[in-house]
């Protein structure tokens, strides 16, 4: 009897635009080859247009759902950026009005408290407290990292440097436009010296600020990057790989349940690029959670 060769499973298809973004992310051909194949020739916008979402595009998440990525309105930004009036109401999952974020003044008051905070020893080594920055009213995504690094401490801004650039690329790979949709901050607002993870007592001292930021900003979704942020915000000691791949709920102090997705920290992805595909899947999950 002649044995027929084993059937190859059908490969999920991706668009050329998506492929261009994935390549920008560093998910290159050898990594993509086992799981993904392009479905049309690479005649898509790349570079700035692709990164900013200026072109209307569709991102297919290697399955049967599409996420529409069209040009977005400009939202109010704070933290080194202009902070004008913004009265938008966000639509929730069923089209209900998303709770309005607090007036910008309250966030600025909290920022000043953080800048003067001496609740833990990290204040001794800081050049700047890094409060956070981005869309201040009901951002689509609130990205929460671990702690500021050296560049962040010098500039007073979160996610500067190479890891921050990768994070921005990761977001744009799923059609999230950082300038229009994201607020970025950390569990702790002051840099731990020597780039060590923050200690539990430092996190505990700083967490009330983050919780207050959640109330004032009213994000639609929280993305926790890295193990420490993931464990702290889920209240679980499970590993990052156990926490990934599902949507958790973060209970905001005002009683709102905010969808929470966890993923790898961009700094760890720079060292372990083999996890980038998982990170991209996490961001697709997050994108779906608050469509
Ligand atoms: N910079 C940040 O702002 N957060 C991190 O977690 C790492 C670097």
Q: Is residue 53 pLDDT above 90, yes or no?
A: no
Measuring from each residue's beta carbon to the nearest atom of ligand 1, which residues come in under 6 Å?
145-149, 152, 158-159, 163, 186, 267
**Beta strands, E only, 48-99:** 57-60, 66-69, 77-78, 90-91, 97-98
Distance separating alpha carbons of residues 154 and 161, to the nearest angstrom: 11
Range name among 9-13, 16-20, 64-68, 171-175 with the lowest pLDDT average? 64-68
pLDDT in tens, 210-236: 999 999 999 999 999 999 999 999 999
* Confidence (pLDDT) at 142: 98
Residue with the two structure tokens 């500067």: 160
Point out the ligand 1 atom lying closest to the alpha carbon of residue 184.
3
**How many angstroms separate the alpha carbon of residue 248 from the centre of ligand 1?**
22
Fold adopted by 78-88+100-289: Uracil-DNA Glycosylase, subunit E (3.40.470)
Distance separating alpha carbons of residues 135 and 152, to the nearest angstrom: 18
Q: Tokens representing 268?
A: 């760890």
Closest C-alpha to 212, from 92, 76, 108: 108
**Best substitution site from 152, 160, 210 to test ligand 1's pocket, by max atoms within 8 Å of Cβ?**
152
* Reported pTM: 0.74
**How many angstroms separate the alpha carbon of residue 168 from the centre of ligand 1?**
12
Q: Is residue 187 pLDDT above 70, yes or no?
A: yes
Residue 290 near residue 176 (C-beta atoms within 8 A)? no
**How many angstroms separate the alpha carbon of residue 151 from the centre of ligand 1?**
9
Structural element, H or E, at residue 32: helix 29-32
HEC per residue, 193-251: HHHCCCCHHHHHHHHHHHHHHHHHHCCCEEEEECHHHHHHHHCCCCCHHHHCCCCEEEE
Distance separating alpha carbons of residues 40 and 96, to the nearest angstrom: 38
Closest C-alpha to 216, from 103, 48, 134, 62: 103
Distance separating alpha carbons of residues 142 and 139, to the nearest angstrom: 6
**Best substitution site from 132, 133, 144, 149 to test ligand 1's pocket, by max atoms within 8 Å of Cβ?**
149
pLDDT in tens, 141-180: 999 999 999 999 999 999 999 999 999 999 999 999 999 9
**Structural domain spans, the chain:** 78-88+100-289
Query: Residue 134: how many CA atoms within 13 Å on its side-chain side?
Result: 28
**Best substitution site from 148, 226, 240 to test ligand 1's pocket, by max atoms within 8 Å of Cβ?**
148
Distance separating alpha carbons of residues 170 and 284, to the nearest angstrom: 10
């Amino acid at each position: 009897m002649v044995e027929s060769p084993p059937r190859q499973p059908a490969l999920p298809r991706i668009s050329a635009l998506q492929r261009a973004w994935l390549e920008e992310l560093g998910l290159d051909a050898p990594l993509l080859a086992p799981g993904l194949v392009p479905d049309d020739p690479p005649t898509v916008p790349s570079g700035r247009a692709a990164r900013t979402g200026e072109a209307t595009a569709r991102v297919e998440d290697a399955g049967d759902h599409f996420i529409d990525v069209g040009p977005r309105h400009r939202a109010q930004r704070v933290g080194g950026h202009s902070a004008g009036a913004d009265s938008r109401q966000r639509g929730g999952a069923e089209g209900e009005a998303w709770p309005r974020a607090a007036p910008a003044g309250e966030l600025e008051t909290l920022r000043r408290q953080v800048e003067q905070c001496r609740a833990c020893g990290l204040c001794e080594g800081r050049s700047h407290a890094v409060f956070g920055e981005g869309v201040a009213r009901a951002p689509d995504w609130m990205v929460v990292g671990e702690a500021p690094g050296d560049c962040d401490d010098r500039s007073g801004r979160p996610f500067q440097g190479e890891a921050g650039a990768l994070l921005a690329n990761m977001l744009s790979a799923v059609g999230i436009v950082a300038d229009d949709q994201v607020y970025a901050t950390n569990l702790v607002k002051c840099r731990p010296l020597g780039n060590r993870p923050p200690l539990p007592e430092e996190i505990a001292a700083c967490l009330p600020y983050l919780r207050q930021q959640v109330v004032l900003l009213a994000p639609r979704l929280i993305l926790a990057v890295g193990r420490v942020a993931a464990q702290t915000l889920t209240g679980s000691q499970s590993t990052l790989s156990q926490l990934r791949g599902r949507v958790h709920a973060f209970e905001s102090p005002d009683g709102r349940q905010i969808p929470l997705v966890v993923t790898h920290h961009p700094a760890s992805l720079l060292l372990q690029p083999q996890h980038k595909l998982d990170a991209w899947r996490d961001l697709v999950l997050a994108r779906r959670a608050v469509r």
